[in-house]
Structure 1
Amino acid sequence: MVNETVSHYKILEKIGEGGMGVVYKAHDTRLDRTVALKFLSDSFLENPTIKSRFLHEAKGASAIQHKNITVVHDLDEAEGKSFIVMEYVEGHCLTELAKAGLSLRRILDLAVQITEGLAAAHKSGIVHRDVKSENITVTPDGTVKIMDFGLAKLKGVTQVTGAGTTLGTVAYMSPEQAKGVEVDARTDIFSFGVVLYELLTGQLPFKGEHIGATLFSILNEHPKPPSQLNADVPAELDRIVLRCLAKNRDERYPSADVLLIELVAFKEGIRTPSSPSAPATPPVPSHRPKKFVLPSLVVTALLGVLVFFFNPLKIQISRDRGAEAYGHSLAVMYFENLTDPADREHTGEMLSNLLITSLSQNSGLEVISRERLYDIQAEMGETKNGTVSPALAGRIAQRAGVTTMLLGSILQTRPNLTVTFRLVDVQTGKIQSSHRLAGFGTEKIFPMVDSMAVLVSKGLDLGPDVLADAKSVTDVTTDSPEAYRSYVEGVELYKKLFLAEARAAFHRAVELDSNFAMAYFRLSLTDEMAARKKVLERAWQLRERVTEQERLQIEAAYANQIEYRPERAAEILEQLIQKHPRHLGAYEHLSHIYQSLGRHEMSVATLLAGLKVDTLAKSLWNLLGYNYAGLNQKRRALETIDRYLRLAPGEPNPYDSKGEIYFVFGDVDSANFWYQKALSLRADFVTTEKVGFNVLLAGRFEEADRYFTRMKASGDRETQEQGEYCRLTILMRQGRLLEARRTMQKQLARHEAEGLAAFLPEDLYCLFNLCYAIGDFPGMLSYAQRYSAWQMKDPTNKFYARHLLAWAHMRNGNRAEAYRLMEELKKDVCGKQPNWQTIFDYSLGILSLEGGDFEAASGHFKKALATQYPNRAPQFAYAVSLLQTGRLSQGIHEMERVTWWTPISTPVLSLNYLPQGVLWPVNSTLAHYWLGTAYEKMGNPERAREEYREFLRIWKAADVDTPELKDARSRLAKLEGLAAK
């Protein structure tokens, strides 16, 4: 078939052949891309049963959306031949790599990726049944691609000795395949064990002179532990491999997910607790490699993620670590302000935080954070009121698991401060030392803290080296008391997610001290999006003016957000966790990075590891709830958020989070109930926008406007401007698109006149999308060009809106320029950042959709969404592509979710960074039109009429007679005419 053309595919070369089919490299002349075509062998072409199963399996494989599974683009038939169109993957198969020899770390990396791919397939109900080294390719960038899902099931166990079956295939078979009995996902785990054994030893575990001898070996012989053939293999890895190869499938890992946890645990240098294993083997000396950081994920892998898989209803992790105190550990308790019991000027708070920061420089001392102590106090039912009795302080310190606590008081006789403090043994209550410092003015609080740190270090007998190495607290914070006071206020506000007030406090701090590194870093977490990079870069420049823990935080954020190197950021955070396992912020940030990389199981694992360290970490419970929601684990998500709510019943955010969890599962009424709970605690919380959007889609436009007007009344400029954008969504929902554009153009002019540059990119982006919705494609291109020019001012922005320019050129009939821009963009962004790849692939989908190639569009969208959470925001363009390619059930499901989905606060679920995100008020209305067309195709005229009527009702005041409006009126008239007859 080489050099022949089948459909619009030109066959270039034959690249593989098996018992059931043959694979060719081909050129897709329509989309100008290289693909792989998999044909059924001629001997099966007349067998309708085999042909039907072939097509069924290919459809099943195409439903798997995962980076480690080869993408299936299409099913086709030409000249009586059925074939599957797949992505063409360059690289080396594992057979070649096994012969070449790989490092243990590289093998483990490949093993984890293979298992992630199998886990995704099993969750989709697909069992590969032919996992072997030849069917696994590793691309030049190190990505694993599992192939042959389309043919795998055809190689049924009754075909073992049939034509074309090779010895290599038999060598990877499970015992149940060899026996010819029914198989399940555990057969893939066995075959994976064979592959891993081969990678570790260069040999197959089961061998024979002929097929029968190999089958006998699989059924009756136990392989040698890999360590007996490769001394570098640790005993723990022996156990994992041999459990995969257990003859009895009940003794293997119950699922690929559980296997994945153990592999990741081992890869990261984690020892797991004992679990059912393969038959006993002789003891093997341990040749454990250097630990690969992240030791605290031991809890994740076992305590945490085993809970995730085996204990869905009882998320219980040890409540406290009081019995686990070890070494030098200290809790700096509250300084009672004798002259200002309410500590209105935060003097006591400043003193405590500065002392913690100073003492945290000591590598031989573990200092418990203030947040941890507050959380323990709240869990004990004690309110934070500025004073804590010695007895209560002792109970808090015991719960924190520390050996020593520091109690103190402040006597303020302006302008002087007198501080008294004592070190107390937590277990015995014995005072170890007591001190009194006087004669320091309020402006001398920093030298006072330095003196206190010296006295504490001596009292704890930390040694002379600690004292010599310690920096003055001004060298790692600020020398401005007022700047630090603002910083402390900002941190407290940020914990409660009062972001506007926190942002203002951090701004005051850097205005008072332009070298305050941590204030810049905190500002990067709260500032307007356009300004975040700038302040983060400033924090990075000043990173030597912070403690080691804080420096690693800043460097990780810089690697992720400025250098766009998430893997490097993860390494830094793993280092931080290894050195400071109680640094809870590191777990949170690492979880976010794993989310961005599409490694959702590792995101969950990281959070559970942090919660093992501190079960009172509110932010980790919150983020874990969203992870479970994204993974479609509704019950776990709600139980987890309830844990968060019990820890912070007086804060609005837990109620807001619970509302969002209900929302992503489609329960909008329950979402609104919990949103209102949040607003009852704080009327101007971020929940205001979400409630406004929900009542907007319910058609209560005046009520929505009241919520958005409330945002405009905020004292925070960013919230005010967001209120303006929100009011614009009312016009968009009503189809008053020309009026919306005029309003937006006025807003752009106002921002330009007032010098509010931070808001200009969003103005231009909105206008670009509005022109598209109106059908003004020259205007669309003009705004895309202006938006791109603005983005080019940021040297770290590798896109500078070229994907939007390409879209605009496509709509203006310049297809060549559109694809030229995308080819240029591909060189700059692909393979460098997961989200970049997602945006690129999604944009290709939009171009294909605009060009009328709906099958290609569907493939691009599917690839873009493959690494996202299963329970993600619905995508309008993807839904259109599904309907246009005849995948009606799937398309209707996606489109129906478009009708009620509104933006939420979680980017990994809302995907608001994808093109068309701003058009959700328009698309949620157009969705009814498309549902009408789908129901017509399905022969359900009654449902079609309902959808057309709803579409026309919502857009009854539309000021643009769009093609959809015209077509809906025409279709409805025909359907009503038929109904009348």
Structure 2
Amino acid sequence: MLFLTIDVNYQGRENNILLPDMDLQKGKIISHYELIEPLGAGGMSVVYKARDLKLDRHVALKFLNLQVGLREEDKQRFIQEAKTTSALDHPNICTIYEIDETAEGQVFISMAYYQGETLKDKIACGQFPIEEAVQTAIQICEGLAKAHSKGVIHRDVKPANMIITEDGVLKILDFGIAKLKGTKRTTQTGIIMGTPGYMSPEQTRGNKVDNRTDIWSTGVILYEMLTCVLPFRGESDLSLMYSIVHEEPVPVEELREDVPENLRAIIQKALRKNPKMRYGIIEAMLHDLKSLSTPGFKMPVEDESALSPKQPPSIAILPFRDLSPEKDQEYFCDGLAESLLTSLSRVEGLRVVSRNSVFRFKNTELNLTEIREKLQVQTVLEGSIQKAGNRVRIALQLINAEDGFLIWGEDFREELQDIFAIQDKITDAVVDALRLRLIGEQINDVHRHHTENIEAYNAYLKGRFYWNQRTVKGLNRSIEHFTEAIDLDANFALAYAGLADSYTILGIYSAYAPDQVMPRAIDTARRALQLDEHLAEAHISLGCVKSVYEWDWNNAEAEFLRGIELNPNYATAHHWYAINYLVPLSRFNEAMKEINKALHLDPISLVINTTVGLVHYYKGNYDQAIQIYQKALQMQSDFAMANFFLGQTLVQTGEYDRAMENFQIAMNLYGESSNMLANYGIAAALGGETKIANDILKDLLEKAERQYVSSYDIATLLVGLNQPKEAVHWLQRAYDEHAYLLVYLNVDPVLRSLRAKPEFADLQPKIFGETE
């Protein structure tokens, strides 16, 4: 039998409040506090307004309510609330000053006193405007994100536990039934803690809960702010709880027509009855809510035609020309352009085209019409660099891409040791020319240099130059230069991030055994974040390795979303989040949104264009995938990756001869990697050329004795040869080695024939966790 414990905050005058069994009258002195008046009471506690006589400020004192027959465990929970909340220093969480006892031995908590109204009272006044509801939900998510980051689950998120101050800041109150992850329950089994209307299905059943129960409650509040009714209702607590577990809420659009579709989707996802189908972490919900406030999102207005929205300013920073006497400064020219691109991408409201797209115009004549049409930008920064000895000359022009007129230009002639000051001058000049403003932390973000050591910076630029070649040889050289940069400056966070990127790509390429490179990627990414927590690149690398190597899905997503929050203009962040996290989890709609964001930032990147096709391939949309790969090959016919992925897709449509032709082109361009050989063998086997496939299998097995060959590649080739038992054996070996492609276990069409086998099913929870 289940017992329901409800702790409801009541607002009212003194005659509506059940006072504790002690003399708490106006003017009474307790410790160094003078009581003024009662503020509210609930099932376990009563709150008084008081004056702190030491600091001469108003506070709120929360006492245990002795009249309701509290047990020792209630006292311990009360003390735990103080400890829990005091550890959460965040603008959207109430501030705890101290915990103390009266002379009579009654425990109380001293906390900040806020002028304002509860969210419950505000909702009672009527439906929120869309923008206000979104911004309020963002504040709730930000406060809960802080709590969850400390392992604290609130478990009683509701409007009555929140106050909106006169300044519009939301404060989450009452962590009285919060639970720390990893601690034992203080409540008895079968007792349900919380408030029925805001409980998640698992909470109403008395089951174990995690952070996703707070996500559900936040979804309920967002629904209520927009509609002024709860999504689940009942005449009694039991009927209400039945509705939560078994019924679907009335769609928001039936109660209010002006709620945008993407906002409705956020609510629907937060209110999925199966926790696995909800947002995995509150940061993911926060990310989606914040995206509603980006320039691309339009809140509904009464007269849409009256709006004439202006496109946000945009810029393409072209590779700088090397005018040095020896023509040996390509790395420096490319690196400085990329550094400026990174700095300007941190400017709020400015769209900066990513490196891959702009660098396709390297060593070409300036054609503003082509650049404007292909990159969809309003302005172009182009220039040249001449470096001789310790002197450098940088000549730059900011050009209007629409009419070709010069907006700004300057010729810098400085000592090389002043390169960081020059970068700041260029960044500020571009921001001023585009009539943008830097405020607050943006100024520091845009001018962050990470090192003041010129030699270390020079080594770092060389590292990025070779990293951008994206070959195994280039990545190994990049590691040498990043390591040199760290030797010169042990606190150079960006160089550690470069190492993390390099090790991550080597792991994805399967150039080395995963345990040779992926742990190094994790260590260097963490070191980068120890030095600079705001480094988006390090968060993205860490998120990638946590997903494809550690299979730590919740923490991986938190890293991806943190990186995107820090630098939403970082195309690689959206790209890797889509293909290395969302696709493996079959979250295809979200993956398509993220890869399209990457494409918006990097519109003619061959890698990103091809990855759009790869998302369609894993989703089973083969015709769309083929069209996209063919479009990429029209952009550059000798792009190995597009030829390879086109071959994979043609295998699924039964065009084995054409597939083998594309695989052969890819191998001629890139080299015979084990993955390409295995896929060539699959096409051969399915096309009736079993001897070719068996020869390839033999070669891969022999090669595996000398160097790393992904067991996943061997497993897929065995599937093509119709040897399922052996294929499952090699998949198990792939699991043991944490092979990169194993994250696509649930979506790779090559493995379709194995999915009914028990041995295959045993692998899934090991990689993706237990399903409910």
Aligned to 1:523: 502
- The structure with the largest helix share of the pair is 1
Q: What secondary structure is seen at the aligned counterpart in 2 of 1:721?
A: coil
CA distance in 1, matches of 2:533, 2:286: 30
Aligned to 2:595: 607
Larger mean CA deviation between 651-660 and 558-567 belongs to: 558-567
1:699 aligns with 2:691: yes
Shift of 1:536: 2.4
Task: Check 1:636–1:449 CA distance in 2 against 1; reply closer, same or farther (3 A cut).
Answer: same
Aligned length: 498
CA distance in 1, matches of 2:290, 2:621: 26
CA distance in 2, matches of 1:725, 1:290: 38
Aligned to 1:417: 392
Once the two structures are superposed, the pairs formed by residues 141-290 of structure 1 within 5 Å of their partners are: 200-202=231-233, 235-236=257-258, 263-264=264-265
Give the conservation status (yes or no) of the 8 Å contact 1:625–1:637: yes
Q: Name the aligned partner's letter for residue 691 of structure 1.
A: Y
Shift of 1:374: 3.5
Aligned to 2:537: 550
Q: What secondary structure is seen at the aligned counterpart in 1 of 2:459?
A: helix
Aligned counterpart in structure 2 of residue 673 of structure 1, from 655, 661, 671: 661
Aligned counterpart in structure 1 of residue 404 of structure 2, from 422, 429, 438: 429
Give the conservation status (yes or no) of the 8 Å contact 1:294–1:575: no
Aligned counterpart in structure 2 of residue 504 of structure 1, from 467, 476, 496: 476
1:295 aligns with 2:280: no
Identity, % of aligned positions:
14
Shift of 1:200: 0.9
Shift of 1:360: 3.4
CA distance in 2, matches of 1:100, 1:720: 62
CA distance in 2, matches of 1:416, 1:402: 33
Aligned to 1:493: 469
Aligned counterpart in structure 1 of residue 380 of structure 2, from 405, 421, 433: 405
Task: Check 1:558–1:477 CA distance in 2 against 1; reply closer, same or farther (3 A cut).
Answer: farther
CA distance in 2, matches of 1:398, 1:416: 37
CA distance in 2, matches of 1:352, 1:388: 17
Aligned to 1:539: 525
Aligned counterpart in structure 2 of residue 655 of structure 1, from 640, 643, 646: 643
Give the conservation status (yes or no) of the 8 Å contact 2:353–2:602: no
Q: What secondary structure is seen at the aligned counterpart in 2 of 1:473?
A: coil
Task: Check 1:325–1:476 CA distance in 2 against 1; reply closer, same or farther (3 A cut).
Answer: farther
1:371 aligns with 2:356: yes
Q: Name the aligned partner's letter for residue 334 of structure 1.
A: P
CA distance in 2, matches of 1:768, 1:913: 11
Q: Name the aligned partner's letter for residue 553 of structure 1.
A: I
CA distance in 2, matches of 1:596, 1:730: 17
Aligned to 1:483: 459
Q: Name the aligned partner's letter for residue 293 of structure 1.
A: L
Shift of 1:663: 2.5
Once the two structures are superposed, the pairs formed by residues 299-448 of structure 1 within 5 Å of their partners are: 326-339=311-324, 345-363=330-348, 365-374=350-359, 377=361, 384=362, 386-389=363-366, 392-393=367-368, 395-397=370-372, 399-414=374-389, 416-441=391-416, 445-446=419-420, 448=422
Task: Check 1:682–1:451 CA distance in 2 against 1; reply closer, same or farther (3 A cut).
Answer: same
Give the conservation status (yes or no) of the 8 Å contact 1:587–1:610: yes
Give the conservation status (yes or no) of the 8 Å contact 2:504–2:541: no
CA distance in 1, matches of 2:544, 2:622: 31
Shift of 1:657: 0.6
Task: Check 1:577–1:768 CA distance in 2 against 1; reply closer, same or farther (3 A cut).
Answer: closer
Give the conservation status (yes or no) of the 8 Å contact 1:299–1:612: no
Cα deviation 1:821-846 (Å, max 9, x = unaligned)? xxxxxxxxxxxxxx99x9xxxxxxxx
Aligned to 1:452: 426
Structure 1, gaps ≥5 residues long: 1-95, 111-133, 145-195, 205-222, 241-260, 270-288, 303-322, 378-383, 713-717, 742-764, 771-783, 792-796, 802-834, 839-864, 883-893, 895-906, 915-981
Cα deviation 1:654-694 (Å, max 9, x = unaligned)? 00011111234554333212101212333445524533565
Q: What secondary structure is seen at the aligned counterpart in 2 of 1:202?
A: coil
CA distance in 2, matches of 1:263, 1:628: 25
Aligned to 2:573: 586
Task: Check 1:640–1:372 CA distance in 2 against 1; reply closer, same or farther (3 A cut).
Answer: same
CA distance in 2, matches of 1:301, 1:329: 17
Give the conservation status (yes or no) of the 8 Å contact 1:553–1:586: yes
Once the two structures are superposed, the pairs formed by residues 634-783 of structure 1 within 5 Å of their partners are: 634-684=622-672, 687-691=676-680, 698-700=690-692, 704=696, 721-722=707-708
Give the conservation status (yes or no) of the 8 Å contact 1:607–1:624: yes
Task: Check 1:538–1:409 CA distance in 2 against 1; reply closer, same or farther (3 A cut).
Answer: same
CA distance in 1, matches of 2:320, 2:566: 28
Aligned to 1:596: 584
Q: What secondary structure is seen at the aligned counterpart in 2 of 1:331?
A: strand
Shift of 1:646: 2.7
Aligned to 2:161: none
Cα deviation 1:208-263 (Å, max 9, x = unaligned)? xxxxxxxxxxxxxxx999699xxxx76456x98xxxxxxxxxxxxxxxxxxxx885
Give the conservation status (yes or no) of the 8 Å contact 1:299–1:608: no
Aligned to 1:160: none
Give the conservation status (yes or no) of the 8 Å contact 1:264–1:301: no
Shift of 1:519: 1.1
Cα deviation 1:861-908 (Å, max 9, x = unaligned)? xxxx8xx238351455845899xxxxxxxxxxx9xxxxxxxxxxxx99
Aligned to 1:794: none
CA distance in 1, matches of 2:251, 2:711: 64
Q: What secondary structure is seen at the aligned counterpart in 1 of 2:464?
A: helix
Aligned to 2:302: none
Structure 2, gaps ≥5 residues long: 1-191, 214-226, 236-248, 271-284, 299-307, 487-491, 507-511
Q: Name the aligned partner's letter for residue 521 of structure 1.
A: A
Task: Check 1:551–1:268 CA distance in 2 against 1; reply closer, same or farther (3 A cut).
Answer: farther
Give the conservation status (yes or no) of the 8 Å contact 2:399–2:407: yes
Q: Name the aligned partner's letter for residue 749 of structure 2.
A: N
Task: Check 1:477–1:679 CA distance in 2 against 1; reply closer, same or farther (3 A cut).
Answer: farther
Task: Check 1:769–1:432 CA distance in 2 against 1; reply closer, same or farther (3 A cut).
Answer: closer
Task: Check 1:459–1:143 CA distance in 2 against 1; reply closer, same or farther (3 A cut).
Answer: closer
CA distance in 2, matches of 1:731, 1:224: 50
CA distance in 2, matches of 1:97, 1:692: 58
CA distance in 2, matches of 1:627, 1:552: 23
Aligned to 1:631: 619
Larger mean CA deviation between 697-706 and 514-523 belongs to: 697-706
Task: Check 1:401–1:557 CA distance in 2 against 1; reply closer, same or farther (3 A cut).
Answer: same
Aligned to 1:380: none
Aligned counterpart in structure 1 of residue 485 of structure 2, from 505, 513, 517: 513
Q: What secondary structure is seen at the aligned counterpart in 1 of 2:318?
A: strand
Task: Check 1:266–1:295 CA distance in 2 against 1; reply closer, same or farther (3 A cut).
Answer: farther
CA distance in 1, matches of 2:295, 2:433: 34
